[in-house]
Structure 1
Amino acid sequence: MVGNRMVGEVMTGEVVQARPDTSVGELARMLASHRISGVPVVDEDDKVMGVVSQTDLTRRQAGLGRGGVGRRRLAGVLKRLVHARPAASAAMELMTSPAVTVHPEQRVVDAARIMERRHIDRLPVVDEEDRLIGITTRRDLLRVFLRTDEEIRREVADAVTARRAAPRGAEKLHVDVRDGMVTLAGSPGPEADASVLVRAAWRVDGVVGVVNRLTVERVSPRPPQDGAPSSSAVD
């Protein structure tokens, strides 16, 4: 489970972008030279009007159907378009509009769901006035989702340590991570709240599950002194 990481934390601020009158040849050069799958099209106020993807460009200019083409053939068509003079001559005629965008304060997990649902690889990031301020890609999101178990283990250990009510018993707390699955075991100390520690582990980016094997020690009541009653009686 990914925590509350925001799109603004993982987006790229420098964005390759096109204007409505950018030619198809220039679009093809942008995609090929930067090795990207699409570019946002913005107006003179930097507001996002649409997106031209590699598939949009090659499919429409090569007269391809909805089924699309294989990656190797698609790259070949794109290469030919750099010097070709296709029928559609500007980004305005090719772009998909309105563009699917996200805001920097949206969660990374929500951006990932949008990409999966819309079958797209990149999302323009816009401000409250729909001006382009960045781009986030599947690769950016994978940096959050695909973390090593050791990275996750260290962060979980720090998170649960910070949320213990008292430091006593720290040496008895064990954190194990395998394929993103966290196991909390041992005793975090008599004053600790196991549920708080489990929630802290869940909030760490890259955690897909938490197994709670914590055993919270209870402070035993002091034994009564000789001759003293073990419990009070109510008249």
Structure 2
Amino acid sequence: MGHRSVADLMTPTAITVRRATTFKEVARLLKEFDITAVPVIDEAGHPVGVVSEADLLRPRPTGGAATAEQLMTSPAVTARLEWSVVRAARVMQRHGVKRLPVVDTDGRVAGVLSRSDLIQLFLRPDHAIREEILEDVLTRTLTLAPSAITVDVEDGLVTLSGTVPRPELLPVVKRLCHGVDGVVTVDSRLTCDSADRT
């Protein structure tokens, strides 16, 4: 399964506004579609900024006559469709934003990724994470005997113990486990069973 991409989690968007869209129209769209922000696009469909609820609540001398261009936070911090979810989360954190417009290869808005979309990923139940590691990672991908490795998962924290047949597998197992949805961190206590080499 590997790392989820932004495309898997984002909400595909049909809702964007232009620079000239009025304050009232932006407010109406947010309420009607039950969203907290909307990307502002130029004539070519490229994002130039984002208007959020917080932007609407900020006091402005122009009041209700303001346009999206005056209201928006700009430039738009964006994510790309092919990015991993982890990369998008880091960009959100670095820029202090709660959502990212997602752009396609032409730079046009394809969707929106919100912080709540990311949180869903980490709320995956522990038993489902454990099952995927045992079945997909260890048995199917690495063809290891699941009986040789113990997998414990608690609140997304994975602890691996047991043995692998070759030392070069140690970093591989850890890396593949990190790629499973919902995994927060991996504590690998695996050792190499080199008894068959001597």
TM-score by length of 1: 0.71
Match of 1:111 in 2: 88
Q: Quick one: which of 161, 181, 196 aligns to 2:139?
A: 161
| 2:188 matches 1:212 | yes
Structure having the higher Rg: 1
After superposition, where does 1:173-184 map in structure 2 within 5 Å? 173-184=149-160
Secondary structure of 1:60 counterpart: coil
- How far residue 49 of structure 1 moved from its aligned partner, in angstroms, is 2.0
Secondary structure of 1:219 counterpart: helix
The 1:18–1:184 alpha-carbon spacing in structure 2 relative to 1, beyond 3 Å, is same
> Is the 1:42–1:48 contact (alpha carbons within 8 Å) kept by the matching residues of 2?
yes
Partners of 1:195 and 1:93 in 2: CA distance: 50
Partners of 1:93 and 1:14 in 2: CA distance: 22
| 2:108 matches 1:131 | yes
Match of 2:125 in 1: 148
> Is the 1:37–1:121 contact (alpha carbons within 8 Å) kept by the matching residues of 2?
no
- How far residue 28 of structure 1 moved from its aligned partner, in angstroms, is 1.0
> Is the 1:163–1:197 contact (alpha carbons within 8 Å) kept by the matching residues of 2?
no
Match of 1:102 in 2: 79
Matched residue type, 2:67: A
> Is the 1:42–1:50 contact (alpha carbons within 8 Å) kept by the matching residues of 2?
yes
Segments of 5+ residues of structure 1 without an aligned counterpart are 64-84, 222-235
- How far residue 178 of structure 1 moved from its aligned partner, in angstroms, is 0.8
> Is the 1:182–1:210 contact (alpha carbons within 8 Å) kept by the matching residues of 2?
yes
The 1:184–1:39 alpha-carbon spacing in structure 2 relative to 1, beyond 3 Å, is same
Partners of 1:170 and 1:152 in 2: CA distance: 15
Q: How many residues align?
A: 194
The 1:32–1:87 alpha-carbon spacing in structure 2 relative to 1, beyond 3 Å, is closer
The 1:213–1:93 alpha-carbon spacing in structure 2 relative to 1, beyond 3 Å, is closer
Partners of 2:149 and 2:55 in 1: CA distance: 54
TM-score by length of 2: 0.83
Matched residue type, 1:30: L
Matched residue type, 1:106: W
- How far residue 198 of structure 1 moved from its aligned partner, in angstroms, is 2.8
Quick one: percent identity of the two aligned structures?
43
